[in-house]
Structure 1
Amino acid sequence: MIAEINRSQPHLMAALLLETELRRMVHRCPQLSQDMVSSLLTKVSLYLIEPAQFTHAGLLPGQNLRPLDVLHLAAATDLGVDALVTYDLRLQSAAHEIGMPVVAPS
């Protein structure tokens, strides 16, 4: 995914909680490093989730979504992004349910 981001140079946006999720992923994926995460994060515009977005997230469809995933979905809708980038099948399904295009990197 990092190679594709470097090649196409899209404008990436995400809630700040992405940093925590990526840094925790390093503990589960030995091929990743904190330096790789730091490099990726320099390519993403991160923003703070506003209190009203927590309510919005709680009201979105997707009965099987985890709380952090639904916060990502609420952030994406509030930012008006062109597409949601995710590997998570439940999050993909919920995004499709509200009419949001999904990019699932391979």
Structure 2
Amino acid sequence: MTEEWKTSACGSFPWGKATGINDSGQVVGNTTLSDGTSDGFLWTRTGGMQDLKTLLPAGSGWTQVIARSINASGQTVGSGSKNGVSHAFLMTPME
């Protein structure tokens, strides 16, 4: 599948890069925040750019999430810090 992209700013983030795209056009990637740390994002045509942490339950303990790839089902894999410990993760969309 070929997607047409227009280069633009990463919302309010100073820097970003895509690390995965699926056949639905959902894009995951990472941005650099104003404090110099990195965080993962999900971009969709309908929802725009969203911080991956905002898609997690409140109080989940995740403080940093880095996206690596997204599959056709919208599942995102990556790594992050939960309660101060590094972990790999698989995020599955809720229906």
TM over 0.5: no
Higher relative contact order (CA 8 A, sep 6+): 1
Where on the TM-score scale, by shorter chain, does this alignment land: which range? under 0.3
Higher helix share: 1
Largest Rg, 1 or 2: 1
